[in-house]
């Protein structure tokens, strides 16, 4: 391990990010090329990174496999963390916590508020005993991590209610909150815009770390303003999925059957995309 870098837990990373007004990127993966590209970028930029796995991604990749790779990569660069993204299945969430995930996102946004608070609170209690952080969600963040062909427009109807968010954080004890300030999953025609004034209000009133989901293809000035005004973690998935597919298609046109030859440009493409995002999230 690089002897100059002392291990630190994910909470310390969040605290440092908030203090320095930088955001940590969460990049999702379900293939080895993706995880390799993400970690190589983080190591090169000497910046903490969160590896995200949705329920679909981790049921394909495997919790044990994800933990083993994180642990292995940590011996070369210590600031690699794992987060379960949009967990809804309680046994799966508990399995991730028991296996050593650094944090879990419990998405109870489809439940009535009372039930969401009750279940989130139970998960917080379970996770905190094992040193795992919990991210909560109230207003469901729409869309999916795919390419949407429609034009992006802000849907005010789904915006975060600051009063409810404050009550939710207080009663559940969540460490972080996935907020709705115009963000939506996936890419759209036109870049996505954020309601920064709403974010300022949330940041002023809510002590939890604030998370921006659906970070792909968002207006870059809005991303900078969001980080300046309280966003600590930004989730990116669709943009790296697009790089994965396009670079793989291009590479498969070459006359080779060697996986390490075919996949090297895929890893390189993902690494470059992650480097761009880390730069955007950490420079003022």
Q: Which residues contact Zn ion (rule: CB under 5 A)?
A: 213
Which has the closest alpha carbon to 138: 81, 95, 181? 181
The contacts of residue 195 (CB under 8 Å, 6+ apart) are 154, 159, 181, 182
140: which DSSP letter? P
Bridge partners of residue 82, in order along the sequence: 51
Least distance to Zn ion from the beta carbon of 214, Å?
6
Measured between alpha carbons, how far is 61 from 175 in angstroms, rounded to an integer? Answer: 26
* Residue closer to Zn ion (CB basis): 191 or 272: 191
145: which DSSP letter? E
Phi first, then psi, for residue 81 (nearest 5°) are -125, 155
* Residue closer to Zn ion (CB basis): 82 or 263: 82
Residue number, nearest CB to Zn ion:
213
Least distance to Zn ion from the beta carbon of 211, Å?
9
* Residue closer to Zn ion (CB basis): 213 or 233: 213
Overall size of the chain counted in residues: 284
Least distance to Zn ion from the beta carbon of 258, Å?
36
Least distance to Zn ion from the beta carbon of 105, Å?
8
Measured between alpha carbons, how far is 209 from 31 in angstroms, rounded to an integer? Answer: 28
* Residue closer to Zn ion (CB basis): 223 or 266: 223
Least distance to Zn ion from the beta carbon of 86, Å?
5
* Residue closer to Zn ion (CB basis): 37 or 215: 215
How far is it between the farthest Cα atoms of the chain? Answer: 59
């Amino acid at each position: 391990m690089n002897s100059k870098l002392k291990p630190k837990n994910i909470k310390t990373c969040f605290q440092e990010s908030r203090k320095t007004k930088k955001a940590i990127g969460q990049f999702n993966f379900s293939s080895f090329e993706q995880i390799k590209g993400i970690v190589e970028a983080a190591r090169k930029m000497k910046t903490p990174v969160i590896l995200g796995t949705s329920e679909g991604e981790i049921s394909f990749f495997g919790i044990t496999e994800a933990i083993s790779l994180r642990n292995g990569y940590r011996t070369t660069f210590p600031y690699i963390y794992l987060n379960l993204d949009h967990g809804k299945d309680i046994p799966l969430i508990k399995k991730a916590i028991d296996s050593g995930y650094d944090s879990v996102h419990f998405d109870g946004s489809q439940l009535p508020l009372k039930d969401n608070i009750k279940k989130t609170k139970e998960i917080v209690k379970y996770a905190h005993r094992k040193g795992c952080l919990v991210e909560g969600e109230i207003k469901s963040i729409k869309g999916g991590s795919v390419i949407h062909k429609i034009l992006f427009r802000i849907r005010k109807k789904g915006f975060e209610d600051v009063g409810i968010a404050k009550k939710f954080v207080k009663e559940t004890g969540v460490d972080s909150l996935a907020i709705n300030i115009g963000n939506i999953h996936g890419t759209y025609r036109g870049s996505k815009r954020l309601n920064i004034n709403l974010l300022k209000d949330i940041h002023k009133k809510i002590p939890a770390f604030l998370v921006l989901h659906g970070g792909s293809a968002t207006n870059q000035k809005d991303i900078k303003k969001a980080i300046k005004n309280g966003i600590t973690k930004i989730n990116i998935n669709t943009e790296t999925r697009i790089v994965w597919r396009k670079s793989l298609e291009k590479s498969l046109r070459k006359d080779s059957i060697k996986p390490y030859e075919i996949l090297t440009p895929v890893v390189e493409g993902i690494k470059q995309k992650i480097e761009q995002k880390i730069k955007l999230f950490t420079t003022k």
